[in-house]
Amino acid sequence: MKATIRSSTAVKALVVVAVSILSGAAWGQLSEPISPLPLAPAADPRKVELGSKLFRDTRFASDNSVSCLSCHSFQHGGADPRPFSVGAKGAVHIFNTPTVLNSGLNIRQQWTGGAASLEELTNLVVKSPRVFNSSWEQVIGKLSQDAPLVQGFKAAYSDGMTAKNIADALAVYQRSLMTPARFDRYLRGDANAITPVEKLGYEKFKAYGCVGCHQGSNVGGNMFQRFGAVGDYFAARAAAGRPITDADRGRYNVTKNPEDLHVFKVPSLRNVALTAPYFHDGSAKTLEEAVDVMFRYQLGRTAAKADREAIVKFLGSLSGEAQKP
């Protein structure tokens, strides 16, 4: 009898231990600062198709010179290899083009958070003199000449081709541009999806505090932070020969709140290995350079060369495995 009681107690203890281990594991997963990329939201394929066409349509530009794709090249991680993109009529932008990939996960759009949504963003870039330099009248005027496109809108939207629906189709398409990476597989439990160096890089990424800002499913993109939180980045850059510009004021340009001076949206690091050059000013030509700048001005720390290299390797594991053409 006694033995039985004892054994059942032992079993109970075992169960408790097992449960606590399991919950601990679950807790560990939950408390991971980076979460796997969610699935792309369900979307009407007709709208995605329309958005895809529009994304490549140069008729948005007043001079029919550029499309969305011109600056959000999929060969370059959905961004532009040039420090500053060139819009309609040769206008040069004042910000480096951020990636379109996974942009549906961002808290707001643009470096400054100037657009609350992808729909609003389309509205802005159509009119922006540095992007399409056009108007909805012009754009719809040109697009409505395209009978198949008009037909496509009629099929997908009850009220056909309107500014609202064009922006919607583009937004639906952009939200579909999700790039699951090897690292996501790692997070989902495939321990061998990334190399040991990349694993080390991830540990360093967390240890040095990079995850303070670059966290969440988009490894960034869900918050704002002052560029030069610890060191004065802009003073140093000015000293190096690049004076402070209007663009450098960042979110202040949107909110006019002095606390937002030099504040920018923390960019997503997904596909970051593909989207050089870096930062809002396109000042960092390589990822290594960008990581160094981050250590100096955001973390206020120095790191061993090996650690930095590991981090750069880790960042490479964030590139989408199946690039959307």
Partner 1 sequence: MMQRPTLRLLASAALLGALAAGWGYLYSNSRAVNTDRQNVTLGLLKDLKQIDTDWGADVLRSQADIIKSYDPLVRPLHAIADVIQRLEGDPTVHQDASLMEAVQSIRAAVARKSDYIDRFKAQNALLKNSLNYLPTARRDIENGMGNAGDSTAPAAVPVATPKNAAFVPVRWEEAVPLLVNDTLRYYSVPDIGVYDTLRGEVQRVRLSLPGYSAEVREPVGNLLLHVETILKLRSRQNDLLRDIASVPVQASVDDLAQRLTTRFDVALKEQASNSRLLLLYSAMSLALVFGAAGWIAYRNATERRRLAVLLERQTKVLKENEAQLIHAQKMNALGEMVAGITHEVNTPLAAVRSGLQSTRELMGVISETLQKDAELAQAVAAADGNRAEPLAQRLRSSVEAHQELASVDAVALVGQLVDGGIRSVDHISGVITNMLNFSRLDRSRIAPARLEEGLESTLAMAAHFLSGVSVEKQFGDTRPVTCDIAQINQVLLNLVRNAAQALPESGGRIQLRTRMASPTLVEVSVADNGSGIPPDVLPRIWEPFFTTKKQGAGTGLGLSTSRKIVAAHGGTLKVVSTSPAGSTFTMVLPVTPPAELQQRQAAAGATAS
Structure tokens at 24: 């601990």
- Among 216, 228, 316, 320, the residue binding partner 1 under the rule CB under 8 A is 216
Coil vs helix vs strand at 264: strand
- Among 32, 44, 288, 309, the residue binding partner 1 under the rule CB under 8 A is 32
Q: What's the min distance (Å) between Cβ of 209 and partner 1?
A: 4
- Among 86, 211, 261, 273, the residue binding partner 1 under the rule CB under 8 A is 211
Per DSSP, helices labelled H in the chain are: 2-30, 45-55, 68-71, 118-127, 136-143, 147-156, 163-175, 182-187, 196-207, 233-239, 252-255, 287-294, 305-316
**CB of 275 or CB of 298, closer to partner 1:** 298
DSSP state of 293: H
CB of 247 within 8 A of CB of 83?
no
Q: What's the min distance (Å) between Cβ of 81 and partner 1?
A: 29
**CB of 66 or CB of 213, closer to partner 1:** 213
**CB of 55 or CB of 183, closer to partner 1:** 183
Task: Report the chain's terminal Cα–Cα distance, integer Å.
Answer: 71
How many of the chain's residues bind partner 1 (CB under 8 A)? 30
Stretch that binds partner 1, among 45-53, 90-98, 187-195, 225-233 (CB under 8 A): 225-233
CA dist., res. 27 & res. 92, Å (int): 48
- Among 213, 274, 284, 310, the residue binding partner 1 under the rule CB under 8 A is 213
CB of 217 within 8 A of CB of 101?
no
Residues that bind partner 1 (CB under 8 A): 30-35, 107, 207, 209, 211-213, 215-217, 222-226, 229-230, 255, 259, 263, 298-302
